[in-house]
Amino acid sequence: MLIELQPRKEPNRLMLYLTPVIAVLATMLAGGILFTLIGHDGFGAVREIFITPLFDPHKWQDLGIKAAPLILIAVGLAIGFRANVWNIGAEGQYVVGGLAGTGIALATWGMEGWWILPLMCMVGALGGALYAAIPAFLKTRLQVNEILSSLMLTYVSIQLLYYLMRGPWKDPDGFNFPQSRLFTDSQLLPEIIPGTIVHLGVPLAFVIAIAAWFVLTKSVFGFQIRVVGAAPAAARYGGFSAKRTIWAAMLIGGAFAGLAGIFEAAGPFGQMVPQFPTGYGFTAIIVAFLGRLHPIGIILAGIILAVSYVGGEIAQTSLGLPNAAAGIFQAMMLFFLLATDILVKYRLVLGPSTKTGEAA
């Protein structure tokens, strides 16, 4: 008796939506075992990381502000991933977006006006898009692999941040600390729920995700993205330009990451600091996959990953779990999701194995 894999003619839709749930549950189980094995309270960790944040109303605002950038970046990345454009430098585009918006904030420092904040956000998105244009140009003109170029640019962007913080953009009244001036009221995202830290960027991220879903499923552009990714030959035959798709996917991904960057700078941070890159750009890759590259799925996945971030912080104080624990749980989710993908692509059949070439 062997389990045999029979390719499905079409991806199984039930499995497509069920596997992310299986992946999260498997992560809780395997993560609990793993952390117990290395000498921690494994299932206590699972409870604190995945359950506690959901049932503690004080933590809901944290979930919102953590989920917003993840969702925003992941929606942009998902558009690219669908078209087989592997922009994994969103972290760099997030940093450059934040820096570009900060540039406007510093240039308008001391001024007042309703126009300052929208301008900062627009320039932030533009900064992210321009930074993503570099790998897009290199890919379309010189066939340079966008995975490597976008990732290299992430490291470059962090050095740019350090340079600006230590040098030209250092707060002149900041006792020589490497950080920018504090943004003023005209430059900060307003709180939308008084008394909480939930800023305007949070609902905007959700609105943008839903708008993206609409564009992806209902427009010619969305169709083009899906065709170029799924059937490049058919796309060429249909007259869809692969290069234009690469450009569009990279620019949208960069713009969304840049927007997330300026939302963070003008929101939770309230200034620019060297600790600005927090890994959202990388975690958003997990969010995109866990959400099945679908904006609605991404909203759910973004909330799950936000839970793991907030829960990781809770577990740090309540169980003394290291900071890295949440990252391990997050990577495990992606592993399990990719592993269970086989249930989407293949049908498992129990039966005597016929002649097989591989012990696969």
Partner 1 sequence: MTTTILISIIMTVVGASTPILLAALGELVVEKSGVLNLGLEGMMLIGAVVGFAVTSITGQPLLGIIAAALAATASSLLFGYLTLTLTANQVATGLALTIFGIGLSSLMGEPYVGKTVEVFGSWFPDSLAEHPFLRIIFGYSPIVYFSLIMILVVSYFLKKTRAGLILRAVGESDLSAHSIGYSVIGVRYAAVAFGGAMAGIAGCYYSLVLTPLWSEELTAGRGWIALALVVFAAWRPSRLLLGAYLFGAVMTLELHAKAAGFSFIAPELLAAMPYLATIAVLALISLHRSGGTAAPACLTKPFKPTA
Given candidates 46, 68, 88, 298, which one binds partner 1 under the rule CB under 8 A? 88
Residue number with CB closer to partner 1 (299 or 325): 325
Single-letter residue type at 138: L
Residue number with CB closer to partner 1 (271 or 308): 308
Count of residues engaged in binding partner 1, rule: CB under 8 A: 56
Phi, then psi, of 170 in degrees rounded to 5: -65, 135
Residue number with CB closer to partner 1 (87 or 224): 87
Given candidates 14, 233, 324, 350, which one binds partner 1 under the rule CB under 8 A? 324
Nearest to 281 by CA among 314, 258, 304, 248: 258
Choices 98-106, 138-146, 220-228, 229-237 (CB under 8 A): range interacting with partner 1? 138-146
Residue number with CB closer to partner 1 (263 or 336): 336
Nearest to 302 by CA among 45, 51, 30, 73: 73
Instruction: State the minimum distance, in angstroms, from the CB of residue 178 to partner 1.
Output: 11
Given candidates 10, 143, 176, 220, which one binds partner 1 under the rule CB under 8 A? 143
List binders of partner 1 among 338-357 (CB under 8 A): 338-339, 341-342, 345, 353-357
List binders of partner 1 among 145-204 (CB under 8 A): 145, 147-149, 151-153, 155-156, 159-160, 162-163, 166-167
Q: Are 229 and 84 a contacting pair, CB within 8 Å?
A: yes
Distance CA 289, CA 285 (A): 6
DSSP state, 183?
A: P
Nearest to 93 by CA among 267, 252, 254: 254
Distance CA 229, CA 210 (A): 21
Residue number with CB closer to partner 1 (219 or 356): 356
List binders of partner 1 among 245-284 (CB under 8 A): 282-283
Distance CA 250, CA 138 (A): 11
The verdict on 123 binding partner 1 (CB under 8 A) reads no
Cα distances from 214 to residues 196, 257, 336, in angstroms, run 30, 19, 29
Residues 6+ apart with CB under 8 A from 142: none
Instruction: State the minimum distance, in angstroms, from the CB of residue 359 to partner 1.
Output: 7
Given candidates 142, 220, 233, 350, which one binds partner 1 under the rule CB under 8 A? 142
Given candidates 22, 130, 144, 296, which one binds partner 1 under the rule CB under 8 A? 144
Helices assigned H by DSSP within the chain: 13-37, 42-46, 52-55, 57-82, 90-107, 116-142, 146-166, 201-218, 220-230, 232-237, 242-264, 280-290, 295-319, 325-345
Given candidates 14, 37, 220, 359, which one binds partner 1 under the rule CB under 8 A? 359
List binders of partner 1 among 22-81 (CB under 8 A): 38
The verdict on 335 binding partner 1 (CB under 8 A) reads yes
Residues 6+ apart with CB under 8 A from 291: 20, 74, 78, 297, 298, 299, 300, 301, 302
Q: Which residues bind partner 1 (CB under 8 A)?
A: 4-5, 7, 38, 86, 88, 134, 138, 142-145, 147-149, 151-153, 155-156, 159-160, 162-163, 166-167, 282-283, 285-286, 289, 322-328, 330-332, 334-335, 338-339, 341-342, 345, 353-360
